């Protein structure tokens, strides 16, 4: 019967002191009653293997003890859905942008290991993932700690019980387009159009009286591209103002317009669009160096532009799917 | 259907019923092991890991009274329904009968609807 004593001792280890003796005495009585009954049925003493099987069936000591303890949780069922929501927000609004910006900067910056010869890519990847884990650990850990504290405070004050249905946000139709945002969109596009037509129509731009910027001949493509795009966006916004809900057609048009805009923007970054800068008191050679440096840095940020374009396109595609499934 | 889902639903359904069965069985004084046997004899298997914590909880709530006594040269803890427990049992049985009746009515209505 030494096995039974060992089992009871192992269960007792996990029990609080003030209840331990009582629970162990009752468990002991139960186990011994079961053993006696089986021995009566067998008409002999139980052997070691049979006692072991009996104890194993009762379960691991820590689990047996756990059933006697009050059920406790770090974050209870009331706060848990909010906790999960905040973790998703932290992931999407902090970790994902952080990762994208870090990757973009590593690709763009020649001083960083990502742009050096192999095997620096692996080193860079390891560095990024290391930083990501640290950022995730700190942000998730902080959120968990705050919610654990809220759980304790909530348990005492029941502040979550004090709520009113009339204070809930109004019911939301995700396919509805607020007229206010359509109005703003029309205004922004027309202001842009006027400014664009007034100042950007020529490939020679005069800034003040002495600084002249000369653009690549390709500039006319960008000028007319963005001009037409702004007109289309203003028209689409006007249609949205009259019929303030997304339809599959208008959602697809928005995708097309954003795709063209993003495509032009990415092309602009790679086009070495700045042909020359003419500054007073600056030698032509120095001005050329500045021009090349600006073109180089604009081109270097190209991956960030591509990432933003993909995010915008994904949002637009999601809107089309949502409208079609509505 | 996923067998795990059924098992979870079955356990959920049994949980409340076990409280009722334990209170009903303890109208007669018993200790843990014989209580387990009594329930098992009537078709309600319950493992000791569930029974003893349940007995403690019901005792803490004042629905059961217990005392340690020696029987057959071994100390055992005997449980008996307290007067408060008897009142609660009465109310729970009434609730149980009302649920049973409601479910039967729903099932009969459905049967009439389908035939």
Tens of pLDDT along A261-302?
Answer: 999 998 988 888 888 888 788 888 888 888 888 888 888 888
Cα–Cα distance measured from residue B104 to residue B9, given in angstroms and rounded to the nearest whole number: 19
The residue to which tokens 């079609």 are assigned? A324
Low-confidence residues of chain A: pLDDT under 70: 1, 108-121
pLDDT band at B114 (very low <50, low <70, confident <90, very high): low
Instruction: Sort residue A304 into left (φ over 0), alpha (ψ -120 to 50) or beta.
Output: alpha
What is the chain B residue with the closest CA to A32? B74
Interface test with B, best of A16, A60, A67, A68 (most B CBs within 10 A): A67
What pLDDT is recorded for position B113?
67
Closest CA relative to residue A83, chosen from A161, A29, A149: A149
Listed by number, the residues of chain B in 15-74 with a beta carbon closer than 8 Å to a beta carbon of chain A are 31-33, 36, 47-50, 52-53, 56, 68, 74
Query: Which phi and psi (to 5°) does residue B62 adopt?
Result: 80, 15
Instruction: Sort residue A248 into left (φ over 0), alpha (ψ -120 to 50) or beta.
Output: alpha
Range of the domain at B106: 3-114
Interface TM-score (ipTM) > 0.90: no
Residue A181 token pair: 């945002």
What pLDDT is recorded for position A199?
85
Alpha helices in chain A (DSSP H): 2-13, 17-42, 48-58, 61-66, 80-90, 96-108, 120-157, 179-199, 219-242, 248-270, 284-300, 302-325
The CATH number covering residue B82 comes to 1.10.10.10
Residue B18 has pLDDT above 70, yes or no: yes
Closest CA relative to residue A11, chosen from A53, A70, A69: A69
What pLDDT is recorded for position A112?
55
CB burial of residue A86 (10 Å; 0-12, 13-18, 19+): middle
Q: Do B49 and A33 touch (CB under 8 A)?
A: no
What is the chain A residue with the closest CA to B33? A30
How many domains is chain B partitioned into structurally? 1
């Amino acid at each position: 019967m030494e096995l039974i004593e060992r089992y009871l001792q192992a269960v007792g280890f996990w029990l609080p002191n003030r209840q331990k003796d009582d629970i162990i005495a009752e468990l002991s009585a139960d186990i011994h009653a079961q053993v006696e009954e089986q021995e009566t049925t067998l008409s002999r003493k139980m052997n070691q293997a049979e006692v072991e099987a009996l104890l194993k069936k009762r379960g691991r000591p820590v689990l047996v003890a756990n059933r006697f303890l009050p059920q406790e949780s770090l974050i209870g069922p009331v706060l848990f859905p909010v906790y999960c929501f905040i973790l998703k927000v932290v992931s999407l609004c902090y970790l994902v942008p952080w990762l994208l910006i870090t990757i973009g900067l590593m690709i763009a910056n020649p001083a960083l290991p990502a742009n050096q010869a192999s095997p620096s890519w692996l080193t860079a990847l390891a560095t990024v993932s290391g930083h990501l884990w640290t950022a995730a650990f700190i942000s998730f850990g902080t959120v968990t700690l705050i919610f654990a504290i809220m759980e304790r405070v909530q348990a005492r004050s029941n502040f979550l019980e004090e709520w009113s249905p009339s204070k809930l946000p109004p019911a939301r139709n995700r396919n509805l387009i607020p007229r206010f945002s359509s109005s703003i969109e029309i205004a922004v596009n027309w202001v842009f159009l006027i400014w664009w037509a007034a100042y950007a129509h020529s490939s020679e731009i005069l800034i003040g009286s002495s600084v002249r910027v000369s653009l690549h001949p390709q500039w006319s493509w960008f000028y007319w591209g963005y001009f037409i795009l702004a007109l289309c966006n203003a028209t689409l916004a006007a249609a949205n103002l009259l019929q303030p809900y997304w339809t599959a057609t208008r959602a697809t048009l928005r995708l097309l317009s954003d795709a063209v805009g993003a495509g032009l923007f990415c092309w602009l970054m790679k086009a070495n669009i700045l042909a020359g800068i003419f500054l007073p008191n600056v030698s032509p050679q120095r001005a050329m160096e500045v021009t090349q440096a600006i073109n180089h840095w604009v081109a270097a940020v190209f991956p960030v532009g591509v990432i933003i374009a993909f995010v915008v396109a994904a949002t637009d595609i999601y809107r089309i799917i949502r409208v079609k499934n509505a | 259907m996923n067998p795990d889902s059924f098992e979870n639903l079955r356990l959920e359904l049994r949980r409340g019923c076990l409280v009722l069965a334990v209170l009903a069985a303890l109208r007669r004084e018993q200790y843990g092991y014989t209580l387990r046997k009594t329930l098992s004899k009537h078709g309600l298997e319950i493992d000791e890991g569930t029974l003893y914590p349940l007995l403690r909880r019901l005792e803490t709530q004042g629905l059961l009274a217990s005392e340690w006594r020696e029987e057959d040269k071994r100390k055992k803890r005997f449980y008996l329904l307290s007067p408060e427990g008897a009142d609660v049992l009465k109310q729970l049985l009434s609730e149980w009968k009302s649920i049973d009746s409601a479910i039967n009515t729903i099932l009969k209505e459905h049967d009439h609807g389908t035939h």
